[in-house]
Structure 1
Amino acid sequence: MSEPNVVKTYGVEVERLAQTHYRATNPAGASLEFGAGEGLLSPVELLLAAVAGCTAVDVDVVTSRRGEPSTFRITAEGDRVNEAGASRLSDVRLAFDVAFPDTPEGRQAQAMVGRLVQVSHDKDCTVSRTVERPTNVTFKV
């Protein structure tokens, strides 16, 4: 198997706003607050949102060319497990609730959803493919 080619580098900067309250900002200036507290998404929930959001974008880009969805929701869940004192997520599950109007264009878009979800999983979604494969994570202080 050949080595993968780096085609783009992604990055965010995380800044502490208060105890357990943070803001992630990308180079374009878009930001999202998260942390451990009331009204904030936790880092684990952000990971689940990223997995769901990646496939959401893949499906939405193609289907919305045919018609505007009447429903577009993805529920993402994962089980926190403990392995020898270390925790991680296991068995991440996505449930898609995507529907289009009963028009020729809507029916065409609806018929594509299952295949697009599969292609996203197998090829296009960087996030879920990263989660499913061993990925090096390094920390530098």
Structure 2
Amino acid sequence: MSEKEESTLRSVELTRTATAVYTVRNASGAEIQFGHGEGLFSPVELLLAAIAGCSSIDVDTVTARSAEPTSYTVTATGDKLVEDSATRMDNLNLAFNINFPDTEGGQKAAGMVERLARLSHEKYCTVSRTVERGTPVAHTLNVTVGDTTD
């Protein structure tokens, strides 16, 4: 693999921990447990979280240079639809609710939010841009039956 390929590759590893319960780990060792069940994020909720998180980082990183927000929440919503027996999400929306202090820096930061959210959507948020583009997902299968130890 070339140096360029290594620098662009992103990956996580998912491990089944119980029926419909999984732990995903990234290269730095951070983990999230998700699946179906009480107290777990669903995969769709993780998708919404990824979209909200990606744009939030874009907006927060720049505005925080001028002022720390006194509150910062982003609500990601969407409708789960069934079409021809297949499910998908539609009407995805991010609602930014940010409050800055009433200072010169706070006013400057507040004035940047609309532009930064637009730039995130149009240019910088890898997650939402990938969803909008409709990037294909391929599958590689390695399924065995029986003892695989030597």
TM-score between the two structures when normalised by the length of structure 2: 0.88
Equivalent positions of 1:48-127 (< 5 A) are 48-127=48-127
Structure 1 residue ranges, 4+ long, deviating more than 6 angstroms after superposition: none
Pairwise CA RMSD of aligned residues? 1.2
| Aligned twin of 1:47 | 47
Which has the higher mean CA deviation after the structures are superposed, 77-86 or 120-129?
Answer: 77-86
SS in structure 1 opposite 2:134?
A: coil
Counterpart-to-counterpart distance in 2, 1:114 and 1:8: 29
Does residue 130 (structure 1) correspond to residue 130 (structure 2)? The answer is yes
Taking the aligned partners of 1:22 and 1:61, their CA distance within structure 2 comes to 31
Q: Which amino acid aligns with 1:110?
A: A
Distance in 2 (CA, whole Å) between partners of 1:24 and 1:11 is 10
- Where does structure 1 lack aligned partners over 5 or more consecutive residues? none
Q: Following TM superposition, by how much is the alpha carbon of 1:19 offset from its aligned partner in structure 2, in angstroms?
A: 1.4
Q: Comparing 118-127 with 7-16, which one deviates more in the overlay?
A: 7-16
Q: What is the CA distance between 1:62 and its match in structure 2?
A: 0.3
Aligned with 2:8: secondary structure? coil
> 1:134: how far off?
2.1
| Cα deviation code 1:106-137 (max 9, x no counterpart) | 11111100100000000000000000012010
SS at match of 2:140: coil
The SS at the match of 1:106 is: helix
Provide the C-alpha distance between the structure 2 equivalents of 1:43 and 1:59, rounded to a whole number of angstroms: 24
Measured in 1, the distance between the counterparts of 2:21 and 2:83 equals 27
- Look up the SS of the partner of 2:92 in the other structure: strand
Matched residues, percent identical?
50
Q: Could you tell me how far 1:76 is from its partner in structure 2?
A: 0.5
Residue deviations 1:69-101 (CA, integer Å, cap 9, x gap): 011100011111111110000110111101100
Greater C-alpha Rg: 2
Shift of 1:21: 1.1
Runs (5+) with no aligned partner, structure 2: 142-150
Match of 1:22 in 2: 22
Distance 1:102 1:116 in 2: 20
